[in-house]
Amino acid sequence: MKPLLTICCTTFNQEKYIEQTLEGFYLQKTNFPIEIQIHDDASTDSTPEILKRHAEKDSRIKLILQTENKYSQHIMPWWHYSFPQACGKYIALCEGDDYWVDPLKLQKQVDFLEANSNYVISWTNYKIFNGTDFSLNSFGHTKEITTIDYNNIFSPYCTLTLTAVFKKEALDLELLKSFKHSKDNSLYIVLLKKGKGVFIDVLSSVYRVHEGGVYSLQSNFFKNYSSYLNVLEVTNAVPESKTANINKVVKSLGNATMYEVLKLKSKGEKVTENQLDFMKTYLKKADFKTKIKYYKKLFKYKFLK
């Protein structure tokens, strides 16, 4: 029977965590068939062997095992491999170090999307695990159901990919493949071209922060700069997304990136030519209010240490 939903999971050197991720998939109770597609990006630990062992036991598991790492070549596994091979009407996302805890997660999200044809993507709430303690995320959703569009996608944020379920037909894979600075927001903004999103305030998932995390332990400069380039790129490609809300986010990310370079430079830490060029170029184009704030920070760092 053809699956109604495909779980797309990506893994890389996650032998410590993948078993718990898989348990979250097995936990799901649905009245529709699912497939579990796992893309391993040439792991050098025992992750592929663990995946093969599980695939032998569960026919729903479909493996895509790379022999050379694609992410390091700036090839996004989701756009190029996972999504094109997904058989389901719906796609759910979860990376191999995160996991689901609500057995009705997929059922709740699919039920909503099936009943509301003008919606194309759904998200839920999640908590954070640092290896010792759990904590809530800081996005601050206050309603049980919140409609998400270009006017409020970042206010508060719609949450991370480990909770996302969306309609495959809403994808524009060629556009996604064209991006040089792909992140979660690339997918969200492209999908919202075709319909609305919904945040359902149920705690369904756990986002794991650990030393092997690709993004969670990056520097503040990297996080701000990569997000700035990402949102700027995707909104330029999707002009209808350039609402006051998103324009404000682009400005906020650009400002934060510039201030982070200033902070590093003022502390005497090593600053690259790329970082200095960004700060100078961005400051030159910045509005008067941003320039005033920049020089206030410069004064503070120089004379009020």
DSSP string, 260-294: HHHHHHHTT----HHHHHHHHHHHHHS-HHHHHHH
Cα angle value 220/254/195 (rounded, 5°):
100
CA 117 – CA 17 distance, rounded (Å)? 36
158 within 8 A of 123, measured Cβ to Cβ: yes
Q: What is the pLDDT of residue 178?
A: 96
Determine the average pLDDT of the residues in 85-94: 98
The rounded distance, in Å, linking the Cα atoms of 138 and 156 is: 9
**pLDDT surpassing 60 at residue 213:** no
CATH code of 5-208, in short, is 3.90.550.10
| pLDDT value of position 56 | 98
pLDDT exceeds 80 at position 35: yes
Average pLDDT over every residue of 88-108: 98
76: closest CA among 61, 89, 95, 90?
A: 95
């809403």: which residue's tokens? 170
Q: pLDDT tens for residues 244-272?
A: 999 999 999 999 999 999 999 988 888 99
Average pLDDT of span 148-164: 90
pLDDT of residue 137: 87
Give domain limits for the chain. Answer: 5-208, 220-303
Q: Which H/E stretch holds residue 22?
A: helix 18-26
pLDDT band at 67 (very low <50, low <70, confident <90, very high): very high
Residue 216: what pLDDT? 52
